Amino acid sequence: MLSMPRRPRSQDERIERSGPSVPPQQTPRHLAELFWVFNHLTLLGVGGVLPFAQRILVEDKRWLRTEQFVEMLSLGQVLPGPNLINLALMVGQHFFGWRGAAVALAGMLAAPLVLIFLVAMAYAQYASTPAVVHALQGMSAVVAGMVIAMAIKLFPAIRHDLTNWGWAGLAFAGVGLLRLDLLWVLIALGPIAVALAWWRLRRA
């Protein structure tokens, strides 16, 4: 009995069988776009840039995957200096080499230098005013909420590995519960985590 030739699957059928497609990762079109994105990022992040960095770089621009953002942010936390400055340098270098690193850094620092200078002058004069004190307390609560929301978004990057949850729990216990200095927590946990990851990669 002759069998009918199988009709080749259409593109829509292949996509349907393979599940939902992942949006393609984008790249900055030129150095000017890199500059203005980081400049815009610093102006958005009043009181805390980190949550906005995750939303813009990963969700809006799609320059980085969540795993890449977590890796760069983790490295930026360990290295000396502000973690967002380190992150900007790594993102810029990733796309345009040393020129991208310099442009991303300039974007991070251009507007804040002027704003911080003006705010510092105003804060020195009005810091003890009750209205300013209450406003700063309210901003602190908002920033804490944004950081918690960003942490929830980043958890999918480690949810499939129970070992990562263990390291996250130990770090939280050391810094958040025991009030240990972050540097000592990194010195204690960092080498062990790196050695364990290296051993697991060797086995794989």
For the chain, give every domain's residue range.
26-157, 160-204
What percentage of the chain carries pLDDT values higher than 90? 16
With cut-offs at 50, 70 and 90, classify the pLDDT of residue 115.
confident
Q: Are 48 and 146 in contact (CB under 8 A)?
A: yes
Cα distance between residue 143 and residue 49, in whole Å: 9
For the chain, give the longest Cα–Cα distance: 94
3-state secondary structure the chain: CCCCCCCCCCHHHHHHHHCCCCCCCCCCCCHHHHHHHHHHHHHHCCCCCHHHHHHHHHHHCCCCCHHHHHHHHHHHHHCCCCHHHHHHHHHHHHHHHHHHHHHHHHHHHHHHHHHHHHHHHHHHHHCCCHHHHHHHHHHHHHHHHHHHHHHHHHHHHCCCCHHHHHHHHHHHHHHHHCCCCHHHHHHHHHHHHHHHHHHHHHHC
Give Cβ neighbours of residue 89 (< 8 Å, ≥ 6 apart).
101, 104, 105
The alpha carbon of residue 172 and the mean position of all alpha carbons in its chain are separated, in whole angstroms, by: 18
For residue 180, what pLDDT is reported? 83
The CB density around residue 131, as the number of other CB atoms within 10 Å, is 8
Q: Assign 20 a pLDDT band (cuts: 50, 70, 90).
A: very low
Q: Is the pTM of this model over 0.85?
A: no
Q: For residue 24, what pLDDT is reported?
A: 58
Distance CA 39, CA 107 (A): 4
User: Cα separation of 78 and 72, whole Å?
Assistant: 10
Lowest mean pLDDT among 34-38, 40-44, 162-166: 162-166
What are the angstrom distances between the C-alpha of 120 and each of 60, 109, 125, 129? 32, 16, 9, 15
| Average pLDDT of span 17-36 | 72
pLDDT of 92 above 90: yes
Matching residue, tokens 């949006």: 23
